[in-house]
Structure 1
Amino acid sequence: MPRSATLDGGQDIQNAQFKKLAMDNLHDRHRAIFSRALSNVLATEIAELTCAQIVDGIPLSSVEKDGYGRSLSRKHPLHEVHTELCPGVLERTHQLRSELNSDTLQFDSRLIHGYMAASPGSRAFQTHLIELIARAVHDIAAEIHKIALNTSPHKDDGLSSWTPPKEDWEDELWWELHPDGAPPTLFQHPWYCYYDQYPQGVSDGVGYWAEARILGGVVLFDRRDPEADDGAEPNAIYFHSDRYQVTYRIYQLTDGQRQLLLNFLQSQDIRPASPLPILCGDDNRIRVDPEEPIGETKIYRDIWERKPLTPNDPDRRLKDVCTTGLDWLTVEEWKESHHRAFETKWKQDYPDLFSDTD
């Protein structure tokens, strides 16, 4: 996609290159809080394992199986040959971690200014801190992926490019979903694979996968204008997971989960007890259908992260089976999603009926 191509919501990808500022531009106190928070996250076992897999070049079989819907064929050789990290990978991961200088990380100047302007302890400060950490984890994973493209022990063994036989009826669905063959990376969050419109391409896709594995979900925000929408919650935090037995829908963190995350990020303990990953449960009552265009829901981090569904894309909301207790807490909630799905399909199939023109 050309750099100036316009994306959903009217925002173009040039905004991804909006003026960046390094963390060393921050006031000492704000910078110290961020650095401590990032250090706490990267010191967790889940962060180490996630980054190590990127260094290794392919995910572990157990991790690939831990998605909401498995993206690989059950016959993929990865499940036989990659049940543990390759020798030397952890050491290489530790080396890369030791070389990281958080002061050199760069972020959108608008986010930096918002963080600097907020008083530590305020709701706005906390929200900006969480966004900075999510972006930092994402970008670090993306950078590791770029390095691993040339250094991974699996870069030439064909595991990443393996495809099941087309004549095998058990893998017909796989080929329907992957008509062009193997995806460009096996580190995939199924809702964040639009590499053609990401500033860092495939590496951004790896970043989304990594933050979801480490934090619990891709971290999203309520981008509605509070002055124009009474329902807007600018300090709400949303996660979008890809975990077995965890909803595929976007969910708002409870106040307790939000505070648990913040307590961990700001802990001064040498090795604070980690709550990561933070995942959805029955208490997460506020949920959003990821199938709905983000230009309408306004629940996103960056407007280019997900594309609207096309008429050819599957929409699981259209199924007649209600998975209450996982994706929908009540039958009524499922019916509402079901109705939204049919409304979307009608608009796609009969656009003239929904046209604003006479």
Structure 2
Amino acid sequence: MGEYFDDSISHDAQIKKLSIEELDNQHPELFVRALDRVMSTDLAKLTCAEIVDGLPLIDTVNENGGGGLSGFHPLYDMHENLCEGVMEQTEEIRKNFDPKVLQFDSRSASPGLRAFRMRLIEMIAVAVHQVAVVLFQPDTSLHKDDGITTWAPPKDDTIFWEFSHEWYKDYKQYPDGVADLVGYWAESRILGGVVLFDRGTPTRKLDPDAVFSHADREETTYRIYRLLDGQKQKMLDFLLLDSPTQNPCPILASLENVFRVDPEEDIEDTGVYRDIWERKPLPIWCSDYRLRDVWDKFDFPLRHDWEEARGRCSDRRNRPEPE
């Protein structure tokens, strides 16, 4: 899992992993139906097909802000469409996928319907992530030998992962390595962002019903935003009602999502994360969006939030680097 969080992950590492059949709840059939609804959406089908194909479409890369690719990357010339037969191949995989292979931590145990509803969004996020991991791991990319996936930009030895979320790239400490990097990317594409929760801190009361999202798209905020009650309810209605409502995903932030969290801050300090190993603290020497001179109302809907964020930035920069 990597060495960075070896000491701090001990409390999460003790949590037992269970299959859907082993969870202490009476509603596995509702979860399976909900997952099928999500994975049957057009966006989920395309996202999974891109993984099976081995590369995202260039339109997807551009929608995610370019993914760090220069204008000379061969993706711009060679991957405007999926390879022939990939969508059909992916659909066959989806139809034959066995949800029993998915693993959830024991916190997902829910003896009653209300508790199950509160955990369902997390279970779906974990499941979408794991489906992407399973699709990526066989290494069946149709582009393995055409020079695209091994391409590196001129005069730059940085490795660019085409399937990646800007803030979730610490694959060396992920349980499934690069496959988890792909999982975060897929989760963000399908649901609107990496789905996070309030895990609490020693100085702040836990909000067990809070759901957060961390998007990686153009024309949206780079900050973590808490979903509104109405946004959560629309998602639960889509997942659980016998006659599903319109798919609300991807759920992206608006100016009404005023409760934001700075991704630059250590997740152990904010308490907002899903797994403690998902992001290393941002190094002090890295650029910090909070230092921009102009108030960006979409990133900081409230001016006092921007001013407070700039203060947190100054405090972070004055801290000594961890040894």
2:187 is equivalent to residue 215 of structure 1: no
Give per-residue Cα distances to partners, 1:143-201, cap 9 Å, x unaligned: 10112x2x2111111212222222xxxxxxxx4xxxx4323x31000100001100000
Runs of 4+ in 1 over 6 A off after TM superposition: none
**Could you tell me how far 1:343 is from its partner in structure 2?**
1.1
Q: Distance in 2 between matches of 1:320 and 1:8?
A: 38
**Could you tell me how far 1:69 is from its partner in structure 2?**
6.2
Alignment of 1:139-218 (within 5 A): 139-147=130-138, 149=139, 151-166=140-155, 175=156, 180-183=157-160, 185-218=161-194
- Residue equivalent to 2:225: 251
Which segment drifts farther, 202-211 or 15-24?
A: 15-24
SS of corresponding position for 2:319: helix
**Could you tell me how far 1:265 is from its partner in structure 2?**
0.7
Unaligned residue ranges in structure 1 (runs of 5+): 167-174, 352-358
- Residue equivalent to 2:255: 282
Taking a change above 3 Å as real, the CA distance of residues 161 and 312 of structure 1, as seen in their structure-2 partners, is: farther
**Could you tell me how far 1:348 is from its partner in structure 2?**
3.4
**Could you tell me how far 1:295 is from its partner in structure 2?**
0.5
Contact 1:236 1:252 in 2 (8 A): yes
- Residue equivalent to 1:329: 301
SS of corresponding position for 1:25: coil
**One-letter code aligned to 1:11:** I
Alignment of 1:26-105 (within 5 A): 26=23, 29-68=26-65, 70-105=67-102
Give per-residue Cα distances to partners, 1:9-68, cap 9 Å, x unaligned: 7114x9458432111224684101111110110110110010000001011101101124
**Could you tell me how far 1:6 is from its partner in structure 2?**
5.5
Contact 1:22 1:107 in 2 (8 A): yes
Contact 2:12 2:275 in 1 (8 A): no
Q: Which has the larger radius of gyration?
A: 1
Q: In the alignment, which of 138, 163, 181 is matched to residue 129 of structure 2?
A: 138
Q: How many residues align?
A: 322
Contact 1:76 1:162 in 2 (8 A): yes
Taking a change above 3 Å as real, the CA distance of residues 88 and 16 of structure 1, as seen in their structure-2 partners, is: farther
2:317 is equivalent to residue 345 of structure 1: yes
Unaligned residue ranges in structure 2 (runs of 5+): none
Q: Distance in 2 between matches of 1:56 and 1:317?
A: 37
What TM-score, normalized to structure 2? 0.93
**Could you tell me how far 1:273 is from its partner in structure 2?**
2.2
Q: Distance in 2 between matches of 1:127 and 1:71?
A: 36
Contact 1:68 1:248 in 2 (8 A): no
Give per-residue Cα distances to partners, 1:210-258, cap 9 Å, x unaligned: 0000001100000016xx6564311100000001111000000001000
Q: Distance in 2 between matches of 1:71 and 1:267?
A: 40
SS of corresponding position for 1:239: strand
RMSD: 2.1
- Residue equivalent to 1:261: 235
Taking a change above 3 Å as real, the CA distance of residues 68 and 329 of structure 1, as seen in their structure-2 partners, is: farther
**Could you tell me how far 1:126 is from its partner in structure 2?**
2.0
Q: Distance in 2 between matches of 1:104 and 1:160?
A: 29
Contact 1:75 1:164 in 2 (8 A): yes
Q: Distance in 2 between matches of 1:68 and 1:334?
A: 23
What TM-score, normalized to structure 1? 0.84
SS of corresponding position for 2:27: helix
Structure with the higher helix share, 1 or 2: 1
Give per-residue Cα distances to partners, 1:103-137, cap 9 Å, x unaligned: 332211x2232x2x2x21x2x32221111111000
Q: Distance in 1 between matches of 2:194 and 2:61?
A: 17
2:267 is equivalent to residue 294 of structure 1: yes
